[in-house]
Amino acid sequence: MIHTKRPARSATRTKAVRKRWADWGAVGLLIAGLTLAASQVRSDGHETIITSHGYSFYGNLTYPADFEHFDYVNPDAPKGGEIVLGAVGTFDSVNPYSRKGRAAGLSSVMFESLLGEGINGAGAPADVYAEYYCLLCERLEYDEGKTWVIFHMRPEARFSDGSPVTAHDIAFSHNLLLDEGLKSYADAVRKRIPKVEVLDDHTIKFHFTKGISRRSLISQVGFVPAWSKKWYEENDAGLDEQRLVTSPGSGPYMIDEIDVNRRVVYKRNPDYWGKDLPINVGRANFDKIRLEYFGDAEASFQGFLAGEYTIRTEGDSKKWATGYTSPKVENGSIVKKELPNGNPPVPTGMVFNLGSPVLQDIRVREAIALGYNFEWTNASLQYGLFTQRTSFSEGTEVMATGVPQGAELEFLQSLGDVVPEDLLTTEVRVPHTSSETRLFDRRNARKAMALLDDAGWAVGDDGVRRNAEGKTLTVNFLHTSTAADTLTGVIENFADNLEKLGIDVRIEEVDSSQYTSRRRDRDYDMIYFQYAAFLGTGTGLAQYYGSETSSFSLFNPAGLSSPLVDAIIDKSLLATTREEEVAAVTALDRALRYEMIMVPVWYNPNHWVAYYDMFEHPEELPPFALGRLDFWWYNADKADALKASGALR
Q: 3-state secondary structure string, 66-117? A: CCCCCCCCCCCCCCCCEEEEEEECCCCECCCCCCCCCECCCCCCCCCCCECC
Is the per-residue pLDDT at 14 higher than 60?
A: no
Distance separating alpha carbons of residues 532 and 501, to the nearest angstrom: 31
Looking at residue 319, its pLDDT comes to 96
Do 403 and 430 contact (CB within 8 A), yes or no? no
Peptide bond into 96 cis (omega under 30): no
Residue from 356, 283, 256 nearest 116 by CA? 283
On the question of a common fold for 90-234 and 253-341+605-645, the answer reads yes
pLDDT (average), residues 418-441: 97
Distance, CA of 397 to chain centre: 19
Neighbours of 506 (CB within 10 A): 11
Q: Name the H helices within 606-648.
A: 636-645
Reported as a single tens digit per residue, the pLDDT across 387-403 is 999 999 999 999 999 99
Q: What is the CATH number of domain 253-341+605-645?
A: 3.40.190.10
Reported as a single tens digit per residue, the pLDDT across 527-572 is 999 999 999 999 889 999 999 999 989 999 999 999 999 999 999 9
Do 263 and 285 contact (CB within 8 A), yes or no? no
41: confidence class by pLDDT, cuts 50, 70, 90: low
Reported as a single tens digit per residue, the pLDDT across 183-234 is 888 888 999 999 999 999 999 999 999 999 999 999 999 999 999 999 999 9
Reported as a single tens digit per residue, the pLDDT across 462-508 is 999 999 999 999 999 999 999 999 999 999 999 999 999 999 999 99
Is the per-residue pLDDT at 582 higher than 90?
A: yes
Neighbours of 160 (CB within 10 A): 21
Looking at residue 492, its pLDDT comes to 97
Distance separating alpha carbons of residues 243 and 100, to the nearest angstrom: 9
Amino acid code (one letter) for 162: G
Is the per-residue pLDDT at 23 higher than 50?
A: no
Is the per-residue pLDDT at 4 higher than 80?
A: no
Do 248 and 110 contact (CB within 8 A), yes or no? yes
pTM assigned to the model: 0.87
Looking at residue 7, its pLDDT comes to 33
Reported as a single tens digit per residue, the pLDDT across 430-460 is 999 999 999 999 999 999 999 999 999 999 9
**CATH fold of the domain at 348-602:** Dipeptide-binding Protein; domain 3 (3.10.105)
Q: Side-chain half-sphere of 267: how many Cα atoms within 13 Å?
A: 8
Give me the architecture of the 90-234 domain, per CATH: 3-Layer(aba) Sandwich (3.40)
Looking at residue 182, its pLDDT comes to 83
3-state helix/strand/coil string of 163-218: CECCHHHHHHHHHHHHHHCCHHHHHHHHHHCCEEEEEECCEEEEECCCCCCCCCHH
Looking at residue 123, its pLDDT comes to 81
Looking at residue 173, its pLDDT comes to 97
Amino acid code (one letter) for 556: N
Tell me if residue 476 falls in helix, strand or coil.
strand
Distance separating alpha carbons of residues 595 and 572, to the nearest angstrom: 18
Reported as a single tens digit per residue, the pLDDT across 590-638 is 999 999 999 999 999 999 999 999 999 999 999 999 999 999 999 999 9
Reported as a single tens digit per residue, the pLDDT across 488-499 is 999 999 999 999
Distance separating alpha carbons of residues 591 and 588, to the nearest angstrom: 5
Reported as a single tens digit per residue, the pLDDT across 265-293 is 999 999 999 999 999 999 999 999 999 99
Peptide bond into 345 cis (omega under 30): no
Looking at residue 114, its pLDDT comes to 98
Distance separating alpha carbons of residues 34 and 228, to the nearest angstrom: 36
In the chain, % of residues over pLDDT 90:
87
Numbers of helices and strands, H then E, in the chain: 20, 26
380: confidence class by pLDDT, cuts 50, 70, 90: very high
Do 28 and 578 contact (CB within 8 A), yes or no? yes
Q: At what angle do helices 27-38 and 578-595 cross, to 10 degrees?
A: 120
Distance separating alpha carbons of residues 391 and 79, to the nearest angstrom: 40
Neighbours of 547 (CB within 10 A): 16
Q: Do you know the residue count of the chain?
A: 649
Looking at residue 45, its pLDDT comes to 59
Residue from 176, 173, 187 nearest 240 by CA? 176
Higher pLDDT, 10 or 144: 144
Which residues partner with 606 through β-bridges?
A: 340
Looking at residue 118, its pLDDT comes to 86
Reported as a single tens digit per residue, the pLDDT across 304-335 is 999 999 999 999 999 999 999 999 999 999 99
> Residue ranges of the domains in the chain?
90-234, 253-341+605-645, 348-602
Distance separating alpha carbons of residues 171 and 37, to the nearest angstrom: 31
